[in-house]
Structure 1
Amino acid sequence: MSAYIAFGAPLLMAAWPFAALSQNIPDNLKGSGEIVIESSGGTLEAAEKKAFFDPFTRDTGIKVVLVAEDHAKLLASVKLGQPANDIADLAGGQLASWIANNGLEKIDYSYFAKETLASIPEQLRNDFGIGNFTYSAVIGYNTKKFPENGKHPKNWVDFYNVKDFAGKRAISKCEKMVEGGLLEGALLGDGVQPEKLYPLDTDRAFAKIKALMPDVGRWLVAGADGPQSLIDGEADMASTYNGRMAAAKAEGAPVAFSWEQSLVQYDYWAVMKGSPNKENAFKFLAYISRPKPQAVFAEAIQYGPVNEKAFALLPKELAGNLPGAPDLVKKQIFQNYQWWGATGPDGRTNYEVAMEHCVALLSQ
């Protein structure tokens, strides 16, 4: 079965007619031609298409073309001076590596309205990337195996406890190491306290992962793989994402997830170095960063908006059940992208060193 699931999240309710998004579009965001955007498919693409891609084309006249996500292929094409697409969604921990490889254009924030920029937290306004959404790596499980009202995994200690919680696991493969919280989850599963998590003890983390490998039923390479592995029966619990799990559960899949020890994360939209459509790319980023598109997106897939004004446009129950919400954040851990992007004496980032270690481990 395809890794991309087709669950239809509760996309945009009557309170949010798309016609509302066409109002007050500045002339500097209109144009012609196209932009090519890398997409991971599944429920995330469905939400982005509904909230961002289709309305942007309708309101600006600029066509959005989607291609399958392949970061390795994309970076190689950028290095050749022939980028395979204009825009990519990069995990926060990957941004520093792309910058170090001279793979990105600086964001031209002159296309953004002042009130839009003022409503986006500073850490989400990088010179080379603008925040896409906040999300959380959570522990998901199959409710036929672990009933919600019974004994079920709640944290990473439970996830790595194969004695008391027997069953197959699904965890992130190397290319999704940061987004899936692979190393953080392993260390938390080994008893490390959240406040002592960073700097990550990578040797300890990979040792914990190696011990779990006989119980891994699926290695996850795409965002949709987590819930799909639970639905297909390849795994009984999975490291996955809150939005994907919420969408699957809403469609009646026998799955649930826990917020405890979940990682607050965020992605960046980034424009590829040498992008032939970079002006259109900047227009797209300015358009979708406004409060209304952000609110539409959050309601579609239940990932947190990066524009703080979007929360006020959402139903209170939903706004309080998104990553980073005041009541939830007490149970969560903010992923430290500064650590992932830091370089050692050899000039390589912690991400690059960990990637090499990960690939070596999984190729054994």
Structure 2
Amino acid sequence: MIRPLLRHLIFSACLPLLVPASLAAQPASSAPDLHGSGEVVITTGGGSWEAAQRQAYFEPFEKETGIKVVLVPGDRGKLLASIERGQPDADLTNLSAGTITSFIKRDALEKIDYSYFDAETLDGISPVLRHEYGVGAILYAVVMAYNEADYPADKPRPQTWADFFDVKAYPGPRGLSGCGDRLISGGNLEFAMLASGADKKSIYPIDLDRAFAMLRKLQPDVGRWWQMGGEAPQGLIDGELAVSTAFNGRIYSARQQGAKVGLTWHHALVQYDYWVVPKHSPNVVNAMKFLAFVSRAKPQAEFANLMAFGPVNRKAYTYIRPELMDWLPGSPKNADEVVYQDYRWWTATGPDGKTNWERAMARCVSELAR
């Protein structure tokens, strides 16, 4: 399910480093009218996510263009099988930046036609989020979060990843993501590198020996290896954990409900998802029109105001509630603090034919058994 904009410049300057230049789509000189007919079929996860998309994206899109939005349950495996049959179950879905490469390798995605996007929209979106096969959907981040009962305002709170790994100076059980699907999205290896002395520009390539040595040292003090996004904040609320990695949106939601939890943005790990169009989509033109519409600043801001995910269009911050600025990974207030995850490194294949993710996974299971 999941991102900054240094006074609008760091975001543009740093993000292009994460993907090859050949994958960054070029802006179009003009954009056609988005009005149309028929439908566009989009996967949905239901719940508050779907409700926010309806309000920010689906209903305004239908009203402006005349194109009907049809929703179907999101099931990545089922969708991929339907794509391989040449009859995709949907015209649009979301993929994490760590997953899109596997779909591209299977020739499962259409290229994005950026000629449907107006120049102002394209100018607000960093090149890495204008992928050849996907348009940025959201930014989110893994942050260091803490229980304010363990670390009240009048006492020192852990601020750096070195602090997180220092249980003598900052005692209390830790929360970290486990192996499996969370090995990449949980950020453990990146945080271990930072704790061991790497600066934000020298995390990659990750030194697996160095990172796992740090994690093994901390292992006796890990009170929970979380997999579901809600586990980390709940562990903090229940007092099971003193400090934990967690998704920024989960901590924001907990705070909104009165929980005494806080976070720091120092070296938080920013991640992002893409909108993608499955290969052989029967409504490919309508899908491109939808992407052009929802990438505009105002729909992006509307969704961010509802769900506290960072918009991919930096111009959206003009319309975002001021009190939300401290909680979004793409906010100008947080631009100097964060690190962007390098998905190229994670998906790179070595001479043995294995990706860095596969090598790291084998070590995670054997050395941490989590």
TM exceeding 0.5: yes
> What is the correspondence of 1:227-238 to structure 2 with a 5 Å cutoff?
227-238=233-244
> What is the correspondence of 1:102-121 to structure 2 with a 5 Å cutoff?
102-121=107-126
**2:93 aligned counterpart, secondary structure:** strand
> What is the correspondence of 1:212-231 to structure 2 with a 5 Å cutoff?
212-231=218-237
Partner AA of 1:330 in structure 2: D
Question: In structure 2, what is the Cα distance between the partners aligned to 1:143 and 1:66?
Answer: 41
With 284-293 and 171-180 compared, the bigger mean Cα shift is at 171-180
With 154-163 and 252-261 compared, the bigger mean Cα shift is at 154-163
**Counterpart check, 1:129 vs 2:134:** yes
Of 193, 207, 215, the residue aligned with 1:201 is 207
Question: In structure 2, what is the Cα distance between the partners aligned to 1:77 and 1:220?
Answer: 32
Q: Is the 8 A contact 1:134 1:305 kept in 2?
A: yes
**Counterpart check, 1:273 vs 2:273:** no
Of 250, 253, 256, the residue aligned with 1:244 is 250
Over aligned residue pairs, what C-alpha RMSD do you find?
3.3
Q: What is the deviation of 1:307?
A: 1.5
Q: Is the 8 A contact 1:187 1:204 kept in 2?
A: yes
Unaligned runs of 5+ in 1: 4-25
Return closer, same or farther for 1:122/1:354 CA change in 2, 3 Å cut-off. Answer: same
Partner AA of 1:107 in structure 2: I
Q: What is the deviation of 1:102?
A: 2.5
**Which residue of 2 is the match for residue 51 of structure 1?**
56
Q: Is the 8 A contact 1:142 1:237 kept in 2?
A: yes
Question: In structure 2, what is the Cα distance between the partners aligned to 1:222 and 1:277?
Answer: 34
**Which residue of 2 is the match for residue 23 of structure 1?**
none
Q: Deviation string for 1:313-350 (max 9, x for gaps)?
A: 23456457632444422222232233234332345443
**Which residue of 2 is the match for residue 160 of structure 1?**
165
Q: What is the deviation of 1:80?
A: 5.5
Question: In structure 2, what is the Cα distance between the partners aligned to 1:210 and 1:133?
Answer: 33
With 58-67 and 194-203 compared, the bigger mean Cα shift is at 58-67
**Which residue of 2 is the match for residue 257 of structure 1?**
263
Question: In structure 1, what is the Cα distance between the partners aligned to 2:61 and 2:137?
Answer: 15
**Which residue of 2 is the match for residue 33 of structure 1?**
39
Q: What is the deviation of 1:158?
A: 2.5
**Which residue of 1 is the match for residue 102 of structure 2?**
97
**1:65 aligned counterpart, secondary structure:** strand
Matched-pair identity in %: 44
**Counterpart check, 1:65 vs 2:46:** no
Q: What is the deviation of 1:127?
A: 0.5
**Which residue of 1 is the match for residue 9 of structure 2?**
none
Q: What is the deviation of 1:116?
A: 1.8
**2:271 aligned counterpart, secondary structure:** strand
**Which residue of 1 is the match for residue 191 of structure 2?**
185
Question: In structure 2, what is the Cα distance between the partners aligned to 1:78 and 1:276?
Answer: 11
> What is the correspondence of 1:259-338 to structure 2 with a 5 Å cutoff?
259-316=265-322, 318-319=324-325, 322-338=328-344
**1:331 aligned counterpart, secondary structure:** coil
**Which residue of 2 is the match for residue 142 of structure 1?**
147
Question: In structure 2, what is the Cα distance between the partners aligned to 1:357 and 1:63?
Answer: 44
Q: TM-score, normalised by structure 1?
A: 0.78
Question: In structure 1, what is the Cα distance between the partners aligned to 2:273 and 2:330?
Answer: 14
Return closer, same or farther for 1:151/1:346 CA change in 2, 3 Å cut-off. Answer: same
Question: In structure 2, what is the Cα distance between the partners aligned to 1:147 and 1:309?
Answer: 36
**1:133 aligned counterpart, secondary structure:** strand
How many residue pairs get matched? Answer: 339
With 301-310 and 276-285 compared, the bigger mean Cα shift is at 276-285
Question: In structure 2, what is the Cα distance between the partners aligned to 1:222 and 1:270?
Answer: 24
Q: Is the 8 A contact 1:29 1:111 kept in 2?
A: no
Question: In structure 1, what is the Cα distance between the partners aligned to 2:346 and 2:84?
Answer: 22
Partner AA of 1:236 in structure 2: A
Q: Deviation string for 1:99-151 (max 9, x for gaps)?
A: 22333221122332333223211121010111112222211122233324433
Q: Deviation string for 1:145-179 (max 9, x for gaps)?
A: 33244333322222233343221414254313333
Unaligned runs of 5+ in 2: 2-31
